[in-house]
Amino acid sequence: MPSRAEEYPSPANLLLEIRQFIHKNYEYSKILEDLDSYFVLHSSNYGKFSVIPYRRIIGNYGTGKTRFLKVIGSICYRPTFLSIVSSEASIYRMIEAYKATLIIDEADFTGSNLYSTIPKY
């Protein structure tokens, strides 16, 4: 774990390091590497925006969805990994308490109250 925060020489330098980390740990198209690099950078500046994006990953079994979440999620701002969520209220309490980036794996909320809260399109 880092012992302290350090200033980067420039935002471009930070973006380059993020891209290199993603490229080293997950293999997919360059345009998606760029998109996800900006997504990671945005996660630490979410308070400056009135609307924030989310990334949704879909695919068949064995296509690397969980690996993707671990790679991208690990470098987002305050990553909080969830696999089972008990209620809508618990999600909101966690967001409020930790101001974290939620990484939700196996997010199949069909048939629960969460289906209407968390968009899946």
Q: What is the pLDDT of residues 56-84, one digit of tens each?
A: 888 898 899 989 999 999 999 988 888 76
Q: pLDDT tens digit string along 15-51?
A: 999 999 999 999 999 999 999 999 999 998 888 888 8
In this prediction, residue 47 carries a pLDDT of 80
User: Does residue 102 form part of some domain?
Assistant: yes
Domain of residue 37, residue span:
11-117
Domain membership of residue 4 (yes or no) is no
* Count: domains in the chain: 1
pLDDT of residue 33: 94
φ/ψ of residue 80, rounded to 5: -130, 110
Report yes or no on 83 lying in a domain. Answer: yes
Here the tokens at position 27 are 């293999």
